[in-house]
Chains A and B, each alone.
Chain A
Amino acid sequence: MNTQEFQIQVLPVKDKLFRLAFRMTGSALEAEDLVQEVFLKVWNGRMELESVQNIEAWCMRIAKNLAIDRLRSKHWQTRTDAEPVLEIAHEASPYTLAEQHDTLAHIRQIMNQLPEKHRQVMELRDIEGLSYEEICEVLGMTMPQVKTNLFRARQAVREALLKLTAFKN
């Protein structure tokens, strides 16, 4: 694979990788750096690409694993001390949420309150448009696990949306 083929076949996934990394790290700078690292890894291991069936899912899995490594590393901890991540209002009441004018921020908060696996599955499905098989590959889950997590996530979001509407009215 030459650089031109790399640009055509691999780079289109860059924004999906960035969003995944951003949602996991909460830092745009960290996410951009991580995406670059993913692409360098893929480029250096491009001989293996022939055996990869789904390049997009494969890249996303690498990004997810790198993000987990960084979250665990001391280095990331130091950097995020200086660069605060998005605050998650775990204890925000429906009334507080209703007071906020930004509707999208409400949804973001609802999503952020979901358990991590529920949220990840729902984001990959509803934002990134991945198939169940691709979600299995990216998150390393079985099909039943993916479906169960998605079901629970959507049920929780539905409930939160209905509560929010009730408070607004």
Chain B
Amino acid sequence: MTTRDIQILLDKYFEGQTSLEEEARLKQYFQGEQIDPAFLPFQPLFQFFESERETGLSPSFESKLMTRIKAEKQARIRNMTTYIARIAAVAVIILGIAIVFPKLQRPGNAVANINWDKYEPQTEDEAMAEATAALQLLASKLNGSTKTATHELEQIKKSATIFK
């Protein structure tokens, strides 16, 4: 670039009319060693921009940040798991109550499911045998009761003679 080109660019620069490409050319020029004495007052300005651009974060910043992000991610997953577990626990409790509570309220309705048909006599002979056995049992019980009643009456009569 000629001295005139630089002068035009500098004028445009201070007017705020330069493009980013033109500004890059100016910065490149002022980083060089052969600078026209007329432009030397402006050299420190462009050097300042370059030196400022070198300022940055420490190399460990990125790893520290990523460690923190991963830790937060893990913590979020843990929190989410705990949250889901709590919801599941509440759901189980509600479901349990819904199933158990109605049965506790109506205990009489709890009827065992028994097939009585299989105890029914299948033939007339079986029915007759069953009936006979039942009547014999009844008769034996009645006989026992008659004997007891007779014995009790005799005892009463004996007792009555004492008061005569």
Measured CB to CB, the residues of A under 8 A from B are 3, 6-7, 11, 14-15, 18-19, 22, 32, 35-36, 39-40, 43, 103-104, 106-108, 111, 123, 125-129, 131, 147, 150-151, 154-155, 157-158, 161-162, 164-165
Contacts and interface: CB of A to CB of B under 8 A. Distances in A.
17 contacts: A3-B70, A14-B61, A15-B55, A19-B53, A32-B58, A40-B65, A103-B48, A106-B44, A107-B44, A107-B45, A127-B52, A127-B53, A128-B53, A147-B16, A150-B16, A151-B15, A158-B42
Contact of B61 (A6, A32, A106, A165): A32
A131 B53 CA distance: 16
Contacts of A111: 48
Contact of B48 (A3, A22, A108, A128): A108
B46 to A, nearest CB: 8
Contact of A157 (B23, B45, B57, B70): B45
Given A104-B48, A126-B49, A161 B56 contact: no
A36 to B, nearest CB: 6
B116 interface: no
Contacts of B68: 36, 40
Q: What's the dominant secondary structure at chain A's contact region? A: helix
A108 B47 CA distance: 11
A147 B55 CA distance: 26
A162 B45 CA distance: 11
Given A14-B57, A18-B56, A19-B55, A155 B44 contact: no
A6 B70 CA distance: 12
B52 A19 contact: yes
B66 A3 contact: yes
Given A36-B65, A131-B20, 17 more contacts: A14-B56, A15-B55, A36-B64, A39-B69, A40-B69, A40-B72, A103-B44, A107-B45, A107-B47, A108-B48, A126-B23, A127-B49, A129-B20, A154-B14, A155-B14, A157-B45, A161-B41
Contacts of B83: none
A123 B55 CA distance: 13
Contacts of A154: 13-16
Interface string B6-50: 000000011110001001100000000000000011101101110
A48 B9 CA distance: 41
A161 B42 contact: yes
Contact of A104 (B40, B47, B66): B47
B51 interface: yes
A164 B66 CA distance: 46
B16 A39 contact: no
B117 interface: no
Nearest to B54: A15
B62 interface: yes
A100 to B, nearest CB: 12
Contacts of A22: 55
Contact of B62 (A11, A103, A126, A165): A11
A18 B72 contact: no
Nearest to A36: B65
Nearest to A14: B57
